[in-house]
Amino acid sequence: MPRFRLHIEYDGTRFSGWQVQKNAKTIQGRIMEAIREVTGTASFEFYGSGRTDAGVHALGQVAHLDVDTSLQKEILRLKLNDELPPDIHVLKIDKADRSFHARHDAVARSYLYQISTRRTAFGKKYVWWIKDELDYARMEDALELFTGMKDFQSFTADDPEEKSTRVLVESMQMRRAGDLILIRIVGSHFLWKMVRQIVGILVEVGRGNVSNEEVRSFLRGESDTPAKNTAPPSGLFLEGVYYKGEKREEEMVPVLNILSHDHRHRQQGK
C-alpha cells in the first residue's frame, strides 16, 4: 500500500480542532470523509503531525496517508480539494517512504501568533485584538525567558502526572507588521494550550501586569496564572512542521495583508 505525504492549510474557526472526534466537526474527520469519497474505500490510515485545538488554524499541517489507489498524486490532490469545503485545502501531495511518519519523524514545529493593535472589521477570526497599549520592548525582552529546555507545567492544560511537561523551545521571535505584532515559537513539540498561554503571559508583560521575575517563577514551579491568561485560538496558526534536513521558514509573513501595512493615513477621513 503506497504512502503519501500531504501538506494542508485550514481555517479552524468552525471546527473542533484537528483530531477526529465523535459527534464533532473536525479537520481530520472532514478530510477522511473526502478520502473515502475519492478513493471509494474505507480501508486507509491517515495521521497528522499533531493536533490543533478548536479554532486554531494551520498554514502548514503535515499528514501521511496509506491508501490503495490508482490515482496519481496530483489527481488525488485535485479530487480531494473538490470534496473539501473552502476552509480546508490540500496544498501538495508527495509520495513518501513507507517508514515516514508525520508525527514521529517531525523534529520541530513552528507556530505563528497574530496580535492586532487596532480593531478590525475583516480580520477578527485571525487575530487577537488588544485594546491596551503594549510595551513592545518589554515583551521582546521576555522572549528569551522561554527558550531552551524548560518545564512548562504552568503553561499547559495537560496533566503533568500523565506526561512530561519539559519542552525544548528552540527560538522565539517578534516583529511588527503594520497594525500586527507577530510572535513565532519554534520547538521540538508543544503541550496542550502551551503556545496560547505563553502568548497570554507575554501580553501581560506588555501591559505591565507581569514582571520578568514572575515569568521565571512560573517556569520554576506550578502556577495557575498562565491558564487564566490563555490567548484566544483565533490568532494562532500552525506555521510549519519540519523533518530532518529540511529548511526552516525564516521570514515571518503576516496572514492578513490588510493589517500588515501602516493604516495611519486612513484615520480622520484621510
Residue ranges of domains in the chain, CATH in brackets: 3-96 (3.30.70.580), 106-265 (3.30.70.660)
Tell me which residue of 157, 192, 196, 184 sits closest to 19, measured CA to CA.
192
Q: Is the pLDDT of residue 67 over 90?
A: yes
List pLDDT tens digits, range 8-58.
999 999 999 999 998 999 999 999 999 999 999 999 999 999 999 999 999
**Sequence-distant (≥ 6) Cβ neighbours of residue 23 within 8 angstroms:** none
CA-CA distances (angstroms) from residue 79 to 12, 84, 155, 199, 244? 21, 9, 40, 38, 30
Other C-beta atoms closer than 10 Å to the C-beta of 83 total 15
pLDDT band of 268, cuts 50, 70, 90: very low
132 is catalytic: no
CA-CA distances (angstroms) from residue 156 to 5, 57, 193? 30, 19, 5
pLDDT band of 266, cuts 50, 70, 90: very low
Percent of the chain surpassing pLDDT 70: 95
Give the pLDDT of residue 269: 37
Beta pairing, strands 148-151 & 166-177: antiparallel
Give the pLDDT of residue 260: 80
Tell me which residue of 230, 160, 196, 261 sits closest to 57, measured CA to CA.
196
268 vs 6: which has the higher pLDDT? 6
Choosing from 53, 82, 94, 158, which is the catalytic residue?
53
**How far is it, in rounded angstroms, from Cα 110 to Cα 153?**
20
